[in-house]
Chains A and B, each alone.
Chain A
Amino acid sequence: MKSMMNRKRADRLFRGGLFGAAFLIPAVLLGMLLSLGIIFFDEFSEIGFQYFFSSDWDPVNERYGIIVFVVGTFLTMFLALGFSIPFSLAISIFTGEIMYGTKIATLISQLLSIISAIPSVVMGLCGLFVLTPIMQDIQLALGYPPYGTGFLSASMVLAIMILPFSAFLGREVISLVPKDLKEAAYGLGATRLEVIRYVILPYAKSGIISGFMISMSRAIGETIAVTMLIGNSNYFPQNIFGTTNTMASVMANEFSEAGSDVYFSAIVGIGFSLIIISALFSLTARKIIKNFY
């Protein structure tokens, strides 16, 4: 009888614990939004509504508009995604199907996890020392000013950084394609390539796309490496080697310089907007994935 009571109490405690943990996440998120929002809206009358519509960011003259950074964020994100997709798909298919379970596949996966564990600042340094000299040569050859940095360089390094996320998920879903479906396709005379194209990829499609979504949300928030490579100018890139800033990079770059309360609030406002944009982005992403199925 007593043990029954104990078990009931344990059960209630357990459920309470689960509920608490589950509610912690929205609470933290709300808290973050609130604290950033309070600082931001405190000076909003000074900053003004053009904040969300203007591409003029000029703290010296107290003009604050974030459109350049929003564009920069999505530009680098999509470009990085574009660079990473072919490699990610190739690695997923190679490690999840063609070489699945072999030593080579394991080795590749391990190398990828190493890449995903490299600190952002180290990636940025590697980009500066390896990529920018190459870019400078190319720019000189093509007759552009040889900065080396720019959104193209930033996107390339970003592509490497987000690759592991989609490649891992891609490998998982591809390796989970049921054997009997593959056999059915082979049984109809398909080659391996045809099985991959017409059976494996369609079956794994939603998982593969989810992988790219994860990669994209990583790209949205990536800061240090991008800050080091993007060139940090507060206008739209002038050409494909142009410099610009993302929301994250301008925050990292100017945070320590914010001399006035308005400037500070304007920077905090970028963080606030970044949370909102990421949230909107993952909601749309979910919708898109759902529509696929």
Chain B
Amino acid sequence: MGQNKFPKPIKKASLNNNLSHRSYASKIASPPKYILRAEDLSVGFSGKTVLNKINMDVAEYAVTAIMGPSGCGKSTFIRAINRMHDLDDKATVSGKLYLRKDDLFAASAMEVRRRVGMVFQKPNPFPSMTVAENVLAGYTLNGISLKRHEKEQLVEENLQKAALWSEMKDRLHDRGNFLSGGQQQRLCIARSLAIKVEILLLDEPTSALDPLATLKIENLIQKLKKEITILMVTHNTGQASRISDYTAFIYLGELIEYNKTKKIFTVPKDKRTERYLSGKFG
């Protein structure tokens, strides 16, 4: 993760010049240090455009929230980043995505997914694997064999990172699907962390959880951003304002507004953002 690999952020002025006619979002500042850049990213299913020319930079070591009413394309957006749409013959993706300086559409999908982690709305640990095996699943699945002490270290380290070690250290050999929903979700986070992803995508990670489990995940996300970049979809505006540094508002497949969370929540520039935040739709 050396700084030398990092592309120079495009200056605000040039960004404005390049993108000024595209959408409101292109006029706002790009975060100072970004790790991920989407350029004119569009996704359609069977010819119907669902996501329309998204231009957005995602800040490194920060939490970026994506909000918007149901069906606006939030999941579609983050699933494009780890190339999930490759699995769907109906999906067409165009535009560009860069992770650091690497063109994500030029690399193989497997490579991309090893660098871009994904946690889904419904916790999905592998039911045929134990807690420890779930943490190591990224290695097993890629056919990488580890020595015993490497395994033990990876399991402990990543369960620690996912704030799950103290609860799991005596249950490492239980089946992963016997945990509570919140534990399962943190196990899924540990599973991504274990393969040392550079950015973690979370798609409404707490919408299936109770308030206490939600709080734990929110605290975890806050803690994790010191070592990893987080891009999360949330339906919950309160959650976005509590834990994110940047917030993007997507509406009908367009990026309407993207700014520091504080700014968006205090002085939204677009009427639609304002209406969404005041609970008028979505």
Tell me the smallest distance from the CB of B83 to a CB of chain A, in Å.
Answer: 9
Q: Could you tell me if B84 and A186 are in contact, using CB atoms closer than 8 angstroms?
A: yes
Q: B142 and A188: CB pair below 8 A?
A: yes
> Could you give, for residues 122-153 of chain B, a 1 whenever the CB lies within 8 Å of some chain A CB and a 0 otherwise?
10101111000000011011110000000000
Beta-carbon contacts of B147-167 to A below 8 Å, as 1s and 0s? 000000000000000000000
Residue numbers in A under 8 Å from B127 (CB-CB): 181, 203
Q: Is A178 an interface residue (CB 8 A)?
A: yes
Q: Is B192 an interface residue (CB 8 A)?
A: yes
- A191 CB-CB contact with B under 8 Å: yes
Cβ–Cβ contact B138 & A189, under 8 A: yes
> Taking the complex as formed, is B111 at the interface, i.e. its CB lies under 8 A from any CB of chain A?
yes
B118 at the interface (CB under 8 A from A): yes
CA separation between A189 and B195, bound complex, in Å? 10
Report the minimal beta-carbon distance from A175 to chain B, rounded to whole angstroms. Answer: 15
Whether A183 contacts B192 in the complex (CB less than 8 A), given A188-B137, A189-B110, comes out as no
Please report the C-alpha to C-alpha distance between residue A199 and residue B124 in the assembled complex, in whole angstroms: 12
**Size class of A's contact patch?**
10 to 19
Q: Determine how close the nearest CB of chain A comes to the CB of B184; give it in whole angstroms.
A: 11
Please determine whether B87 and A191 come into contact, CB atoms closer than 8 angstroms. Answer: no
Contact of A180 with B by CB under 8 A: yes
> Is there an interface contact between A184 and B142, defined as CB atoms closer than 8 Å?
no
Q: Are A187 and B122 in contact (CB under 8 A)?
A: no
B114 at the interface (CB under 8 A from A): yes
Cα of A205 to Cα of B129 in the assembled complex, Å: 13
Residues of A within 8 A of B142 (CB): 188-190, 194
Do A189 and B114 have beta carbons less than 8 Å apart?
Answer: yes
- Which single residue of chain A is at the shortest CB-CB distance from B141? A190
Of A180, A183, A190, A199, which is within 8 A of B110 by CB? A190
| Nearest chain B residue, comparing its CB with the CB of A178 | B124
Residues of A within 8 Å of B191, CB to CB, are 184, 188
A198 to chain B, nearest CB (A): 5
Cα distance, A191 to B195, chains bound together (Å)? 15
Complex formed: what's the CA distance from A21 to B109 in Å? 55
CB distance from A290 to the nearest CB of B (A): 16
Q: Is the CB of A188 within 8 A of B114?
A: yes
Separation in Å of the A292 CB from the closest CB of chain B? 11
Give the complex CA separation of A191 and B143 in angstroms: 10
CA distance A205 to B126 in the complex (A): 14
User: How far is B277's CA from A78's CA once the two chains are assembled, in angstroms?
Assistant: 66
A185 close to B141 (CB less than 8 A): yes
Is A135 interfacial (CB 8 A cutoff)?
no
Complex Cα spacing A183 to B191, Å: 14
Contact A189 B124 (CB under 8 A): no
Q: Chain A nearest CB: distance from B129 CB in Å?
A: 8
Contacts of A31 in B (CB 8 A): none
Asked whether, in the complex, the Cβ of A184 is within 8 Å of the Cβ of B143, the reply is no
Is there a chain A Cβ closer than 8 Å to B253's Cβ?
A: no
Q: Once the chains bind, are A180 and B122 in contact (CB under 8 Å)? A: yes
Q: Which residues of B contact A191 (CB under 8 A)?
A: 110
Could you give, for residues 101-140 of chain A, a 1 whenever the CB lies within 8 Å of some chain B CB and a 0 otherwise? 0000000000000000000000000000000000000000
Within 8 A of B (CB), among A150-190: 178, 180-181, 183-190
**A189:B111 contact, CB within 8 angstroms:** yes
Interface string of B107-122 (1 = CB under 8 A from A): 0011101100110101
B residues near A, CB below 8 A? 82, 84, 87, 109-111, 113-114, 117-118, 120, 122, 124, 126-129, 137-138, 140-143, 188, 191-192, 195
- Known contacts A184-B188, A189-B111, A202-B128; 8 additional CB pairs below 8 A are A184-B124, A186-B109, A187-B84, A188-B192, A189-B113, A195-B141, A199-B128, A203-B126
Q: Could you list some 9 contacts between A and B, CB below 8 A?
A: A181-B124, A184-B118, A184-B191, A185-B141, A186-B84, A188-B142, A189-B141, A191-B110, A203-B127
